[in-house]
Amino acid sequence: MAIALVTGASAGLGEEFAWQLATAGHDVVLVARSRDRLSEVAEVLTSATGSGAEILPADLTTEEGREAVAARLTADERPVSLLVNNAGFGIGASFLDSTWDQERALLDIHVTAPMRLAHAALPGMVARGHGAVLNVSSVAAHLGNSTYAAHKRWAVDFTQALAGQLAGTGVTATAVLPGLVRTRFHDSDALSHMRHEFPEPVWLDPERVVTSALAAVRRGQTVVTPSVGYALAGSVLRAVPQRVTRGRRSQQRD
Ligand SMILES: NC(=O)c1ccc[n+]([C@@H]2O[C@H](COP(=O)([O-])OP(=O)(O)OC[C@H]3O[C@@H](n4cnc5c(N)ncnc54)[C@H](OP(=O)(O)O)[C@@H]3O)[C@@H](O)[C@H]2O)c1
């Protein structure tokens, strides 16, 4: 049975990744901070799909949390063949208004953790001659207007570098760039304003984003933007000078 490890699997896109992978016959390793919520997801998912689910509670903004997950990824027993680097959050403050603790946590969850976990997972995958890493980026990668956007741009560049280095190994790397998705992401006071600032039609369902991302992994595609509308928006944003998308300080929140 192929095993997939999903970070941020207690809610939103990560929970949907876990469901779709378990439904497709994968056993799953579920990572997030909340042990109770992970147990609930694992129990329901196991009884509905018959696939196995391990829970691995870890805070990926800490060295201890990252190393616990890295240890699972380097284990020879029940090796992981798909790593989904999905856990993430926004802080809703510009760099000039944020605290250092917020910026450090944001960097750790979006950059240090995916890099550490890929570094742990890839040697085993390459030795076995198969496997995949999926990094959850964002259309914000095209905006260049915040540290969040810079981290999501890094995820695309990192994935493309990995894809080049992995060519011919049987292991692939994919970055998915979702637009706005209906999840818990915008629940915080700092981000909830986005729910009414953007009209209903631009919000995607997690199911659609995850289906598109997993299809890209199966094809070995390096970069995918779910939904035609966001793919078009991405092409336009790439063509627009960054001084336009960078915006003013009041817009630099995510
Ligand atoms: N929703 C959107 O509009 C959107 C758009 C583009 C990209 N994305 C990206 O999609 C990914 C998933 O976001 P989502 O929308 O599904 O958000 P979500 O519903 O808030 O889920 C976030 C997940 O990450 C976990 N997480 C948060 N902090 C963590 C930490 N320190 N250590 C370990 N796990 C942690 C959360 O679990 P715990 O709280 O239990 O730890 C939860 O399972 C993120 O990388 C986000 O940047 C989202």
pLDDT tens by residue, 141-178? 999 899 999 999 999 999 999 999 999 999 999 999 99
Question: How much is the pLDDT for 250?
Answer: 42
Using a 10 angstrom Cβ sphere, with 0-12 exposed, 13-18 middle and 19 or more buried, the burial of residue 248 is: exposed
**60 C-beta closer than 6 A to ligand 1:** yes
Q: Residue 84 is part of a domain; what is its CATH number?
A: 3.40.50.720
pLDDT tens by residue, 118-129? 999 999 999 999
Question: What's the total number of domains in the chain?
Answer: 1
Rounded distance from Cα 232 to ligand 1 centre (Å): 25
Rounded distance from Cα 60 to ligand 1 centre (Å): 11
Question: How much is the pLDDT for 240?
Answer: 79
Question: How much is the pLDDT for 233?
Answer: 87
**Ligand 1 binding pocket mutation candidate from 151, 183, 188, 227 (most atoms within 8 A of CB):** 183
Rounded distance from Cα 12 to ligand 1 centre (Å): 7
The mean pLDDT value for 62-72 works out to 98
Question: How much is the pLDDT for 251?
Answer: 46
**85 C-beta closer than 6 A to ligand 1:** no
Q: pLDDT exceeding 90 applies to what percent of the chain?
A: 85
Instruction: Mark out the alpha helices in the chain (DSSP H runs).
Output: 12-23, 35-49, 63-74, 100-107, 113-128, 147-166, 193-197, 206-219, 228-239, 242-246
Q: pLDDT exceeding 70 applies to what percent of the chain?
A: 94
Give the confidence band of 246 by pLDDT, cuts at 50, 70, 90. Answer: low
**Ligand 1 binding pocket mutation candidate from 181, 191, 200 (most atoms within 8 A of CB):** 181
Domain region containing 76: 3-251
Rounded distance from Cα 122 to ligand 1 centre (Å): 23
Q: Active site includes 230? A: no
Question: How much is the pLDDT for 252?
Answer: 47
Q: Count the residues in the chain.
A: 254
Question: How much is the pLDDT for 135?
Answer: 99
